[in-house]
């Protein structure tokens, strides 16, 4: 029993040490974001400060276009989610109900598209969007984001729809419902938990995306948060407290939403990889 307890203690000590390492960058981000500009370049740096305030956040939101970046991220991520989840729900229903055997080759195709290097696709996307005059538009970003969000959403939703017994919609149709009615009134409500989870994932993946927006926007008023924040580093004199405040604004919603999704996280990553 004593050995067991010692073992447990060692385990906890290791866990906490690992946690400190993992979490330190976030602590440093928040700590820096709360400091006044004069304290950023102190040596040794302060780990806790009596001068902590939200000034940097106020500056970033009023004097810098971070609010604008936030809105851009929101519009693009929401647009991508709306398109992806709508189309994916239709396709997932179609595949699981009408072509159950066709679903596997389609899933393999989706898997390939999910594995394409995004750097390969940004070249044609840049060419096509500039030809179409769509650089610096939400439309370009939403279309580009759909190229990785849609395969993901279809893939996840096929999994969810497979778990809804087909007897249920067949029963509805025996009662006289059309396919579309069965889909809208019976299946969609049943699939709601899955739809919500997939929508949140799609939103987060879109929100976190960087490279596409980096290439498809040149006008700083169209930057999304990830691009806007990363670009602030290149400025003449970097205000690290402001930069970290902007990073918190970009990162915090993601952390909260992902934590809510914790239950589905394993499924999302492993669908097809782990059974059970």
Partner 1 sequence: MAASPEQPAHATAGRGTRRGATPWTRRRRVGYAFVAPVFLFLCAVVVFPLLHAFWTSLHRVRGLASTFVGAQNYVRVLTDDAFWHSLAVSLEFTGTCVALHMTIGLGLALLLDQLRFARTALRIAFLTPWMVAPAIGATIWLWMLEPQFGVVNYLLQAAGVIAAPLAWLGVPSLAFASVVAVDVWRGTPFVMLLMLAGLQTIPREQYEAAAIDGASAGQRFRYVTLPNLRYLLVVASTLDVINTIRHYDTIGVMTAGGPAGATEVLPVLLFNTAFRGNRFGEAAAIGVLLMLIVLVFAIFHIRFTRADLENAR
**Minimum gap (Å) between residue 265 Cβ and partner 1:** 7
In the complex with partner 1, the residue whose CB is nearer, 71 or 111, is 111
Kindly list the distances between the CA atom of residue 242 and the CA atoms of 49, 148, 213, in Å, as whole numbers in the listed order.
16, 31, 22
Contact between 136 and 222 (Cβ < 8 Å): yes
Contact between 123 and 129 (Cβ < 8 Å): no
The residue to which tokens 């989870």 are assigned: 197
**Minimum gap (Å) between residue 16 Cβ and partner 1:** 10
Q: Return the SS3 of 151.
A: helix
Measured distance CA(242)–CA(229) in Å, rounded: 10
**Minimum gap (Å) between residue 196 Cβ and partner 1:** 17
Contact between 190 and 172 (Cβ < 8 Å): no
Measured distance CA(46)–CA(38) in Å, rounded: 12
**Minimum gap (Å) between residue 223 Cβ and partner 1:** 12
**Minimum gap (Å) between residue 63 Cβ and partner 1:** 19
Helix ranges restricted to H, 50-191: 55-62, 66-97, 103-115, 118-131, 138-162, 166-174, 179-181, 188-190
């Amino acid at each position: 029993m004593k050995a067991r307890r010692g073992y447990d203690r060692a385990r906890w000590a290791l866990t906490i040490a690992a946690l400190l390492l993992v979490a330190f960058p976030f602590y440093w981000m928040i700590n820096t974001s709360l400091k006044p500009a004069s304290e950023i370049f102190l040596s040794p740096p302060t780990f806790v400060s009596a001068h902590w305030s939200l000034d940097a956040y106020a500056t970033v939101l009023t004097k810098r276009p971070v609010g604008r970046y936030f809105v851009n991220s929101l519009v693009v991520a929401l647009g991508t989610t709306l398109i992806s989840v709508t189309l994916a729900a239709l396709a997932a229903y179609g595949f699981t109900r009408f072509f159950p055997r066709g679903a596997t080759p389609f899933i393999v195709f989706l898997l390939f598209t999910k594995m394409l290097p995004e750097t390969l696709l940004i070249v044609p996307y840049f060419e096509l969007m500039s030809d179409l005059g769509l650089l610096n538009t939400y439309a370009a970003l939403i279309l580009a984001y759909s190229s990785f969000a849609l395969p993901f959403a279809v893939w996840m939703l096929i999994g969810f729809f497979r778990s809804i017994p087909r007897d249920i919609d067949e029963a509805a149709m025996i009662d006289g419902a059309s396919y579309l009615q069965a889909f809208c009134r019976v299946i969609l409500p049943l699939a709601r938990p899955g739809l919500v989870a997939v929508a949140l994932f799609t939103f987060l993946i879109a929100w976190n995306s960087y490279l596409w927006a980096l290439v498809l926007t040149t006008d700083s008023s169209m930057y999304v948060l990830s691009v806007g924040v990363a670009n602030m580093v290149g400025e003449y004199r970097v205000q690290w407290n402001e930069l970290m405040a902007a990073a918190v604004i970009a990162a915090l919603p993601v952390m909260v939403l992902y934590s809510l999704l914790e239950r589905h996280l394993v499924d999302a990553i492993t669908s097809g990889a782990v059974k059970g």
